[in-house]
Amino acid sequence: MTTLLDVQDLTVRFAMPKKSLFGPRAYLEAVRQVSFQLQAGRALGIVGESGSGKTTTAMAAIRLVDAAGGKVIFDGQDLLQLSDEDMRQRRRDVQLIFQDPYSSLNPRARVADIVREPMDLMEIGTEQERRDRVEELFKLVGLRPDQLNLFPHQFSGGQRQRISIARALTTNPRLLVCDEPVSALDVAIQAQILNLLAKLKAELNLSYLFISHDLGVVRHVCDDVAVMYLGKIVEIGSREALFDSPQHPYTQALLAAAPSLARRKSRGYVRPLKISGDPPSPINPPKGCAFADRCPRAQEPCRHTQPTLEPVAAHKVACHFPGPAE
């Protein structure tokens, strides 16, 4: 398999207001040296609690959020080192599907103009070719040609997300970043959009960087899964390995708490001990494992030494004491 996206030690921090005029400035460590690879034609899901850094990681990888360090190698080029104009050209290959289909579409524009906009901005094709492409994409995402001249308010939430998907496909991208693309939709409509994304991935050989807090959604769409906690990846591997044999206690707690997952008892899964408390502050992350104070397995090394991602049971885990739930 060919590596399409190779993220190396990606770091994102946000400056916080000073407490006093001459005092030091604190920084919120949103993403802390995150590394992962996305293979061409596959979908990588990034999951975690709110505030874990999953969306910031994806946005920094495509330069919609400034990174403080690291590399993002896309098709042999480091996106973080490209000039603004070179990155603008690269946007043809990397497109984004937003979370909220209600606010991501211009309410004053007809949907044909909304879908055509990326081609207009990048000067792709002639006027007739752009119109033909819009009609083609409307059919591809399950919308009718007679709806082209309508406005966004005349569509349902699911239809609006189909419009967003069509807009993202106009430049023939190789990578789609999907930021919680179904979280604002009803459950029945979610299934339709997920099936559409799976169909498009297979037919167009797309790669997805898929951000979600819903493990059931990730299991349906993604080939590989990365679990984030306080700005770091704590477990990453294939969908089968991670869902059938989670090794990190945080991953086990997420799976046990997911109401949309029907666990298969034949895999030997046992509900882990409950975790309590809140994550530590990203402004002052702990020296050791960030999960140590909430982890039922934590021992002295966990509080002083930060674990690194190491191969365990067919995937990688950042834990001093990995293993199946007891």
pLDDT in tens, 291-319: 999 998 899 999 999 999 999 978 899 99
pLDDT of the residue at 259: 66
- pLDDT surpasses 90 at 325: no
Mean pLDDT of the 71-77 span: 95
Which residues are CB-contacts of 208 (< 8 A; sequence separation ≥ 6)?
42, 43, 44, 175, 176, 177, 178, 197, 201, 221, 222
Which residues, in sequence order, are bridge partners of residue 8? 71
Q: Which of 36, 40, 26 is nearest to 60 (CA)?
A: 36
Which residues, in sequence order, are bridge partners of residue 15? 27
pTM of the model: 0.92
Amino acid at 321: F
Q: Which of 136, 125, 59, 122 is nearest to 91 (CA)?
A: 122
pLDDT of the residue at 262: 53
Mean pLDDT of the 163-185 span: 94
pLDDT of the residue at 265: 45
- pLDDT surpasses 50 at 47: yes
Q: Which of 322, 321, 320 is nearest to 306 (CA)?
A: 320
DSSP state of 39: E
Mean pLDDT of the 241-265 span: 80
pLDDT of the residue at 326: 64
pLDDT of the residue at 24: 85
Angle between helical axes of 127-140 and 111-121 (0-180°, round to 10)? 130
Which residues, in sequence order, are bridge partners of residue 186? none
Q: Which uninterrupted H or E stretch holds 244?
A: helix 239-244
pLDDT of the residue at 268: 43
- Model confidence band, residue 278 (pLDDT cutoffs 50, 70, 90): confident
- pLDDT surpasses 60 at 272: no
Mean pLDDT of the 151-156 span: 95
Least confident of 42-51, 80-89, 260-269: 260-269
Lateral strand order in the sheet of 77-78: 27-39, 3-15, 69-74, 77-78
Which residues, in sequence order, are bridge partners of residue 29? 13
Read off the tokens for 229. 């906690």
Coil, strand or helix at 304: coil
Mean pLDDT of the 121-133 span: 94
